[in-house]
């Protein structure tokens, strides 16, 4: 599935709810999901970990919807098969 | 671009670096990127905001690579055109 298609699915499912919740509230929920991902990384349950990754990309896409950002376009613009900092593939940055 | 293709691009660019950095260190960088996204949301510069969204999905995909998670599969498994909680489209959850 394309990044953009996933973002559009999130729009169908959640735009009404998250646009009402607002940018600040939706960003706060994304941060909560990041915390849950961090916990799942400690616990070692692969299915739970996969669900947390899914939640993070879902909230990220929904936040992109309510801020009028095309996540796929933004991702490809910055990451065009080269590292945006050193312009190499693979990246040769030292940090 | 498919979510999986983007994740594979991140593998080519960053797997060598992030697998050396480790899961904890890579997760810490993802959290830093979330903070930067939060700052960009306050500032109102659209291009900067797009770059921060790009960075978050990039670090998320790289973290998925070093934890052997297929981000596209995980996303589609949980979000199958219905809300995973209420099983409706659009979502009818109350919170």
Q: Do residue B71 and residue A79 have CB atoms under 8 angstroms apart?
A: no
Q: Which residues of B touch A55 (CB under 8 A)?
A: 78
Which pLDDT value is given to residue A75?
Answer: 98
pLDDT of residue A94: 84
What was the pLDDT predicted at A18?
Answer: 96
Residues B61-81 have a mean pLDDT of 98
Query: Is residue B59 less than 8 Å (CB to CB) from chain A?
Result: no
Kindly state the average pLDDT of the residues A17-46.
97
Residue from A10, A55, A57 whose CB has the most chain B CBs within 10 Å, to mutate:
A57
Question: Is 80 exceeded by the pLDDT of residue A95?
Answer: no
A88, B14 Cβ separation under 8 angstroms: no
Q: CA nearest A49 in B: which residue? A: B69
Residues of A in contact with B31 (CB under 8 A): 34, 38
Confidence of residue A20 (pLDDT cuts 50, 70, 90): very high
On the CB side of A9, CA atoms within 13 Å amount to 20
Check pLDDT > 90 for residue B95: no
| Confidence band for A30, pLDDT divided at 50, 70 and 90 | very high
CA distances to A29, B8, B31, B75, B92 from B37, in Å: 13, 23, 10, 21, 28
* Mean pLDDT of the region B48-61: 98
In B1-95, where do the E strands start and end? none
Give pLDDT tens digits for A71-87: 999 999 999 999 999 99
């Amino acid at each position: 599935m394309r990044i953009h298609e996933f973002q559009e699915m999130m729009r169908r499912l959640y735009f009404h709810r998250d646009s009402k919740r607002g940018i600040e509230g939706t960003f706060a929920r994304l941060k909560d999901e990041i915390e849950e991902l961090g916990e799942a990384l400690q616990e070692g349950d692969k299915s739970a970990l996969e669900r947390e990754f899914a939640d993070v990309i879902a909230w990220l896409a929904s936040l992109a919807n309510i801020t009028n950002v095309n996540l796929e376009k933004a991702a490809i613009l910055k990451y065009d098969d080269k590292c945006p900092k050193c312009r190499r593939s693979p990246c040769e940055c030292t940090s």
